[in-house]
């Protein structure tokens, strides 16, 4: 089966290619307008920013052949932006570029008090008996990562809806034209099954109307792999103990990144995060170790991949400069869905607090403008600082704590650090999170140096304070030691996800046991 892939240059096409090839298909990349009308079946994965995508489609003269292909009702699967492009325009496009206009209606931003972007595993309510959902059970969850959704004028094109504060349209179908807001290539076995149906079904047209309800948004369990080279120069998965990765002088070696990532995927991790923990001093594109890790991992792991470490502007030894966008683009092309910015975000926020001005050139702004804010995670490395009274740290977010300090202080603030916790900065975690949201970050990875690797549980006070300060999703991180620690963080804070490393690397508690424990307490998870 030859599948033509419309890659407009900002999508993460590697995962789609890997999924199609895993299903025995062959991918033919669309390189010129005539390739579109030559296609047997056309896949259009769209990730990033709507305006950027539409501008590129027009610049490449793809709009006319695409319209002709679609008006002939030929087999088409649009994913995320690839579905949104079928409509007449989007609120995300401030220049009012001409869209494909195959379906009447527009794309609108979520209007909800819940976190936006809508990120995670959510159910679908099936409205038509469609061959693309053949063999997929009603309680299946798919991976979503978006801030906008389509609003069709003609409700007969609605294939599924999904609930996120309200029911929004999560997939559409008219004849052989199908669009999904969720990412099948990132939705594990169910997503692969949907792609297989699209590839193999001769007649894709939907049958009778049905009304089968799905389940709601799950809390995400994320496996994190801290990666660096050891003293012998091998790239290993390591683990800090309050950010100290050495044991008897050697870098802890917990295994190989690609193998461990595949194990966690098979164990049911909802996402995998790689953090290149010496990225602050190495040039991430130098000899490309993490690029290869991503390329090899994305061949067999079909859930979202985040990569962090060293995402910022660089000037190499020969004076050649690389922007953070260049670095991120390499990672996206290699299979990453999100990039995580740590140290650079602190420096950017310090400047913003001083000038109150957006430069437009910060790594957060550069990358979210092209790939969408859902592709930009800010990783915060805070440590607790105790103070006798809030007056001691006036310009920081000081809070009362239930865990008094060494001198019985009942107030504390969380100092941000850079370079892997090596340098404290004059910035607190709550302020950093708020500024980064303002600059376009789509998610916060909230670590905690004091809790990292201690198995003593998450710092619930820190997580609650940051979550209350932003309207983007927050990933709780650091300290997980047993399955109840995950239940506590979801029962006492609104964190959308929980990340762990040591507990999984040391095989203390398998991911499925954590998830089953949460499900037994009616905490929504993807089993």
Phi first, then psi, for residue 432 (nearest 5°) are: -60, -45
Q: How many residues bind ligand 1PR (CB under 6 A)?
A: 35
Residues 6+ apart with CB under 8 A from 389: 411
Applying CB under 6 A, which of residues 15, 374, 478, 493 lies at the interface with ligand 1PR?
A: 478
Applying CB under 6 A, which of residues 25, 479, 486, 514 lies at the interface with ligand 1PR?
A: 479
C-beta closer to ligand 1PR: residue 101 or 424: 424
* Residue 356 falls in which region: left (phi positive, over 0), alpha (psi -120 to 50) or beta: left
3-class secondary structure, 447: coil
500 touches ligand 1PR by CB under 6 A: yes
C-beta closer to ligand 1PR: residue 188 or 342: 342
* CA pair distance 261, 329, nearest whole angstrom: 21
257 touches ligand 1PR by CB under 6 A: no
Other beta carbons within 10 angstroms of residue 134's beta carbon come to 13
| Six token digits for residue 369 | 């403008």
483 touches ligand 1PR by CB under 6 A: no
Phi first, then psi, for residue 359 (nearest 5°) are: -80, -25
**Applying CB under 6 A, which part among 74-82, 297-305, 328-336, 500-508 lies near ligand 1PR?**
500-508
C-beta closer to ligand 1PR: residue 83 or 514: 514
Question: Of 442, 283, 446, 320, nearest to 379 (Cα)?
Answer: 446
C-beta closer to ligand 1PR: residue 183 or 228: 228
Counting Cα atoms < 13 Å in the Cβ hemisphere of 102 gives 29
240 touches ligand 1PR by CB under 6 A: yes
Counting Cα atoms < 13 Å in the Cβ hemisphere of 315 gives 2
289 touches ligand 1PR by CB under 6 A: no
Tell me the closest approach of the beta carbon of residue 449 to ligand 1PR, in angstroms. 8
Counting Cα atoms < 13 Å in the Cβ hemisphere of 397 gives 19
| 127, 161 Cβ separation under 8 angstroms | yes
Tell me the closest approach of the beta carbon of residue 148 to ligand 1PR, in angstroms. 28
What is the per-residue binding string for ligand 1PR in 408-447, x denoting contact by CB under 6 A?
A: ------------xx-------------------------x
* CA pair distance 285, 326, nearest whole angstrom: 10
226 touches ligand 1PR by CB under 6 A: yes
25 touches ligand 1PR by CB under 6 A: no
**Alpha-carbon torsion 283, 289, 292, 297, what sign?**
negative
Question: Of 417, 333, 369, 380, nearest to 45 (Cα)?
Answer: 333
C-beta closer to ligand 1PR: residue 195 or 225: 225
Applying CB under 6 A, which of residues 8, 69, 103, 280 lies at the interface with ligand 1PR?
A: 280
Would you please indicate which residues are annotated as catalytic (active-site) residues? 80, 183, 185, 226, 381
| 333, 14 Cβ separation under 8 angstroms | yes
Site residues for ligand 1PR, 94-133, by CB under 6 A, read none
Write out the residues near ligand 1PR by the rule CB under 6 A.
224, 226, 239-240, 243, 245, 275, 277, 279-280, 308-311, 340-344, 379, 381, 420-421, 447, 452-453, 477-480, 499-503
């Amino acid at each position: 089966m030859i599948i033509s892939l419309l890659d407009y240059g900002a999508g993460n096409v590697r995962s789609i290619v890997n999924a199609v090839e895993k299903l025995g298909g062959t991918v033919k990349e669309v390189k010129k307008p005539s390739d579109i009308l030559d296609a047997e079946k056309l896949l259009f994965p769209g990730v990033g920013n709507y305006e950027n995508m539409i501008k590129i489609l027009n610049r490449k003269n793809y709009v006319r052949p695409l319209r002709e292909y679609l008006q002939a009702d030929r087999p088409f699967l649009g994913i995320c932006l690839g579905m949104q492009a079928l409509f007449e325009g989007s609120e995300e496009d401030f220049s009012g570029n001409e869209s494909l206009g195959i379906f009447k209606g527009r794309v609108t931003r979520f209007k909800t008090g819940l976190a936006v972007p809508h990120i995670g595993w959510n159910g679908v309510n099936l409205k038509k008996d469609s061959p693309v959902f053949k063999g997929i059970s009603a309680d299946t969850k798919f991976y979503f990562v978006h801030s906008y959704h389509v609003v069709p004028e003609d409700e007969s094109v609605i294939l599924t809806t999904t609930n996120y504060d309200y029911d929004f349209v999560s997939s559409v179908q008219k004849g052989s034209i199908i669009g999904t807001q969720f990412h099948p290539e990132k939705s594990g076995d169910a997503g692969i099954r949907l792609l297989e149906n699209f590839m193999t079904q001769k007649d894709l047209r939907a049958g009778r109307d049905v009304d089968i309800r799905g389940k709601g948004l799950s809390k995400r369990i994320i496996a994190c792999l801290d990666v660096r080279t050891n003293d012998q120069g091998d790239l290993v998965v390591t683990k800090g103990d309050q950010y100290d990765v050495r044991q008897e002088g050697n870098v802890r070696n917990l295994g190989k990144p690609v193998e461990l990532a595949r194990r966690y995927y098979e164990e049911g991790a909802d996402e995998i995060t790689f953090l290149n923990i010496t990225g602050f001093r190495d040039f991430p594109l130098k000899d490309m170790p993490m690029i290869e890790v991503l390329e090899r991992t994305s061949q067999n792991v079909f859930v979202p991949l985040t990569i962090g470490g060293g995402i910022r502007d660089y000037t190499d030894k020969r004076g050649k400069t690389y922007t953070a966008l260049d670095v991120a683009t390499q990672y996206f092309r290699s299979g990453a869905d999100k990039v995580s910015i740590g140290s650079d975000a602190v420096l950017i926020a310090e400047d913003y607090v001083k000038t109150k001005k957006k430069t437009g050139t910060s790594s957060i702004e550069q990358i979210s403008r092209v790939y969408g804010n859902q592709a930009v995670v800010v990783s915060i490395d805070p440590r607790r600082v105790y103070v006798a009274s809030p007056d001691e740290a006036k310009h920081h977010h000081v809070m009362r704590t239930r865990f008094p300090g060494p001198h019985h202080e009942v107030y504390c603030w969380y100092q941000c650090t850079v370079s892997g916790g090596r340098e404290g900065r004059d910035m607190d975690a709550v302020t950093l999170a708020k500024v980064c949201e303002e600059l376009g970050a789509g998610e916060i990875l909230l670590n905690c140096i004091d809790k990292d690797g201690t198995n003593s549980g998450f710092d619930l006070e820190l997580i609650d304070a940051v979550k209350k300060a932003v309207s983007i999703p927050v990933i709780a991180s650091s300290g997980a030691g047993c399955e109840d620690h995950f239940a506590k963080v979801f029962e006492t804070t609104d964190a959308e996800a929980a990340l762990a490393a040591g507990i999984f690397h040391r095989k203390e508690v398998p991911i499925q046991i954590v998830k089953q424990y949460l499900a037994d307490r009616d905490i929504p998870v993807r089993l």
